[in-house]
Amino acid sequence: MATDPRTGPAPAPTGPLSAIDYSERIPNNVNLAGDRRLQRALESWQPKFLDWWKTLGPALPTQDVYLRTAIAVGRDGWAHFDHVPMTEYRWGIFLAERDPDRTIAFGTHQGEPAWQEVPGEYRAELQRLIVIQGDTEPASVEQQRVLGMTAPSIYDLRNLFQVNVEEGRHLWAMVYLLHAYFGREGREEAEQLLKRNSGDFDNPRILGAFNEATTDWLSFFMFTYFTDRDGKYQLGTLKESGFDPLARTCEFMLKEEAHHMFVGTTGVQRTVERTAELMATHGTDDIWRYGGIPLGVIQRYLNFHYSVSLDLFGSEQSTNAGNYYTSGLKGRWQEDRRRDDHVLIGQNRDMNVVRDGRIVPQEVPLLSALNLDLRDAYINDCSHGVKRWNKALESAGVDARLMLPHEGFNRRVGAYSRHHISPTGEVLAESGWDAARWLPTEDDRRGVAALMKPEYEYGKFASWIAPPPFGINDQPVEFDYVHLAEESLA
Ligand SMILES: [Fe+2]
Ligand SMILES: [Fe+2]
């Protein structure tokens, strides 16, 4: 591929590095010191990032937090845990090791060596993909900034901050690519990533779901389970990219995402466990007065977060998605496990459409339905958590169960968006339609908000959530994961 005339040759990573250099101002494993211009550009972006973190990052003042930091990107022992003041967290640039023999696995460039530079003909598309991914990372930090004020425990507070610092690092990951490979335009986009803000009326984040504030911890756990999981799937497609630096960045980000998935899965799990326990003990669904969140409320939160997260996959049919695939920019989830030609021309699949008041399958070209392909994998993944949560209800002796609503419920994007689909998949007429009864009501949100009282005593948990079975990094549950600032305790 030709060198881009505007940026010159991209910096060549010097072989498979895995150790991270912490002596540098910006910790990295990309030999940043070997490219003074790039290093200076990123060093001038760094204080802007820190300003952003101080203004729009976690609002609860703390002294330090027991955080993990990457020390190597290899398979074993990449993480180091220690108490660090959050503003001194070593945000840096970590790419998975380079495979010098890597080839492009799909599309028209299949079998060609992976690109180490941006191919001129795909420059605009690649930049756009990186900017959209990059925009979601700081957005979630902004959305969650006040949650610390109402943390159900110090353990949960620590997990929130871990997710926050890592989303900040994911921003670094995308900004590195913009600076290193996209020249002046890339640097301008990197500035914009800090100027757009979640919920800002004049300058909002790019995707709708990232402009809603995360107001309570049940929303946070649902967001981390459903919306962050969308992020995991998007990263999974970029990890396949023919543009090798993007693939390697996303591969390492996915390792960090695993913890975010854990926070969501276990957060909802522990909420459901507590709810089940209170339902069983008191023999009623109405457990507000016992300090628990009724199962119906949990289900409505689930319905909301699941349906808005499905919208993030875009329309089922998309020419862009097909073009990204054919060009080698974005693969499928676990591309290497697919048993087909990885080109997909002339192949079809079924997709659900609403016709004459019924949901029926219709055959469509596979290449045009790659968003749907990704969404299917995501839905399958989401269903595992629900099974786990239902086990908690079962072992408490409660008959009620949680469910994923139908994929067509409450959709604003794609084939279902002009129809009214109930959570169980009935197509409803306008007259029978009232989505509100399946979504969190004002009363639901007020009830949840009333339970959101901070519990900052080590080893104690708010009334609505069960303690976890284990602490973080083999520490006890009652460990001093966070040292709050004096003013926070007052
Ligand atoms: Fe992220
Ligand atoms: Fe995440």
Q: How far does the centroid of ligand 2 lie from the alpha carbon of residue 234, in Å?
A: 11
Residue with tokens 């949960």: 156
Q: Is residue 177 part of a domain?
A: yes
Q: How far does the centroid of ligand 2 lie from the alpha carbon of residue 235, in Å?
A: 10
Question: Is the pLDDT at 293 greater than 70, yes or no?
Answer: yes
- Collapsed DSSP state (helix, strand, coil) of residue 7: coil
How large is the average pLDDT for residues 102-131? Answer: 97
Number of domains composing the chain = 1
> Which pLDDT score, from 0 to 100, does residue 75 have?
65
Identify the band that residue 84 occupies on the pLDDT scale cut at 50, 70 and 90: very high
Q: Which residues contact 41 (CB under 8 A, 6 or more apart)?
A: 179, 187
Q: How far does the centroid of ligand 1 lie from the alpha carbon of residue 66, in Å?
A: 19
What is the CB neighbour count within 10 angstroms for residue 486? 8
Q: How far does the centroid of ligand 1 lie from the alpha carbon of residue 80, in Å?
A: 19
Question: Is the pLDDT at 148 greater than 80, yes or no?
Answer: yes
Identify the band that residue 1 occupies on the pLDDT scale cut at 50, 70 and 90: very low
Q: How far does the centroid of ligand 2 lie from the alpha carbon of residue 312, in Å?
A: 15
Q: Is residue 430 part of a domain?
A: yes
Q: How far does the centroid of ligand 2 lie from the alpha carbon of residue 257, in Å?
A: 5
How large is the average pLDDT for residues 355-372? Answer: 97
Q: How far does the centroid of ligand 1 lie from the alpha carbon of residue 166, in Å?
A: 7
For 263-314, give the DSSP string.
HHHHHHHHHHHHHHHHHHHHT-S--GGGT---HHHHHHHHHHHHHHHHHTT-
Q: How far does the centroid of ligand 2 lie from the alpha carbon of residue 139, in Å?
A: 11
Q: Is residue 17 part of a domain?
A: no
Instruction: Give the per-residue SS3 of 219-261.
Output: HHHHHHHHHHHHHHHHHHHHCCCCEHHHHHHHHHHHHHHHHHH
Q: Is residue 20 part of a domain?
A: no
Based on C-alpha coordinates, what's the Rg of the chain?
Answer: 23
> Which pLDDT score, from 0 to 100, does residue 6 have?
39
Identify the band that residue 488 occupies on the pLDDT scale cut at 50, 70 and 90: confident
CA–CA gap between residue 467 and residue 155 (Å, rounded): 9
Q: Which ligand is nearest to the CA of 136?
A: 1
Cα 170 to its chain centre, rounded Å, is 10
Question: Is the pLDDT at 409 greater than 50, yes or no?
Answer: yes
> Which pLDDT score, from 0 to 100, does residue 319 have?
96
Q: How far does the centroid of ligand 1 lie from the alpha carbon of residue 319, in Å?
A: 26
Q: How far does the centroid of ligand 1 lie from the alpha carbon of residue 137, in Å?
A: 5
CA–CA gap between residue 153 and residue 459 (Å, rounded): 7
CA–CA gap between residue 50 and residue 76 (Å, rounded): 30
For 407-476, give the DSSP string.
TTTT-SSSTTTTSEE-TT--EE-GGG--GGGGS--HHHHHHHHHH-----STT---TTSPPPSS-GGG--
Q: How far does the centroid of ligand 1 lie from the alpha carbon of residue 237, in Å?
A: 14
Whether the CA torsion 448, 451, 453, 454 is positive or negative: it is: negative
Q: How far does the centroid of ligand 2 lie from the alpha carbon of residue 116, in Å?
A: 26
Identify the band that residue 119 occupies on the pLDDT scale cut at 50, 70 and 90: very high
Q: How far does the centroid of ligand 1 lie from the alpha carbon of residue 378, in Å?
A: 16
> Which pLDDT score, from 0 to 100, does residue 18 have?
57
Q: Is residue 254 part of a domain?
A: yes
CA–CA gap between residue 179 and residue 267 (Å, rounded): 36
Mean of the per-residue pLDDT values of the chain = 93
Q: Are residues 213 and 143 in contact, defined by beta-carbon separation less than 8 angstroms?
A: yes
User: Rounded to 5 degrees, what are φ and ψ at 425?
Assistant: 90, 15
Q: Is residue 5 part of a domain?
A: no
Closest CA to 482 of 458, 464, 447: 458
Q: Which ligand is nearest to the CA of 163?
A: 2
CA–CA gap between residue 400 and residue 389 (Å, rounded): 11
Identify the band that residue 77 occupies on the pLDDT scale cut at 50, 70 and 90: low
Q: How far does the centroid of ligand 1 lie from the alpha carbon of residue 123, in Å?
A: 23
Question: Is the pLDDT at 9 greater than 60, yes or no?
Answer: no
Q: Give the range of the structural domain holding residue 423, as residue numbers without chain letter.
A: 32-489
How large is the average pLDDT for residues 371-388? Answer: 98
> Which pLDDT score, from 0 to 100, does residue 221 have?
98
How large is the average pLDDT for residues 313-340? Answer: 97
Q: Is residue 283 part of a domain?
A: yes
pLDDT, tens only, 221-259: 999 999 999 999 999 999 999 999 999 999 999 999 999
How large is the average pLDDT for residues 428-457? Answer: 92
% residues pLDDT > 70 (the chain) = 95
pLDDT, tens only, 15-61: 444 577 777 889 999 999 999 999 999 999 999 999 999 999 999 99
Q: How far does the centroid of ligand 1 lie from the alpha carbon of residue 69, in Å?
A: 15
Q: Is residue 10 part of a domain?
A: no
Furthest CA-CA distance within the chain: 71
Q: How far does the centroid of ligand 1 lie from the alpha carbon of residue 250, in Å?
A: 9
Q: How far does the centroid of ligand 2 lie from the alpha carbon of residue 277, in Å?
A: 30
Closest CA to 94 of 66, 67, 74, 76: 74
Closest CA to 429 of 324, 356, 344: 356
CATH (domain of 394): 1.10.620.20
Q: Which ligand is nearest to the CA of 139?
A: 1
Q: Comparing 12-26, 216-230, 468-482, which segment has the lowest mean pLDDT?
A: 12-26
Q: How far does the centroid of ligand 2 lie from the alpha carbon of residue 167, in Å?
A: 6
Q: How far does the centroid of ligand 2 lie from the alpha carbon of residue 164, in Å?
A: 8
Closest CA to 179 of 373, 376, 329, 35: 35
How large is the average pLDDT for residues 411-436? Answer: 91
> Which pLDDT score, from 0 to 100, does residue 14 have?
40
Q: How far does the centroid of ligand 1 lie from the alpha carbon of residue 230, in Å?
A: 10
Residue with tokens 């009214």: 420
For 36-78, give the DSSP string.
HHHHHHHHHHHHHHHHHHHHHS--S-EEEEEEEEESB-SSS--
Q: How far does the centroid of ligand 2 lie from the alpha carbon of residue 231, in Å?
A: 7
Q: Which ligand is nearest to the CA of 168?
A: 1
CA–CA gap between residue 318 and residue 341 (Å, rounded): 20
Question: Is the pLDDT at 433 greater than 60, yes or no?
Answer: yes
Question: Is the pLDDT at 2 greater than 70, yes or no?
Answer: no
Identify the band that residue 100 occupies on the pLDDT scale cut at 50, 70 and 90: very high
Write out the residues surrounding ion ligand 1, Cβ under 5 A.
137, 167, 170
Q: Which ligand is nearest to the CA of 264?
A: 2
> Which pLDDT score, from 0 to 100, does residue 76 have?
61
Q: How far does the centroid of ligand 2 lie from the alpha carbon of residue 267, in Å?
A: 15
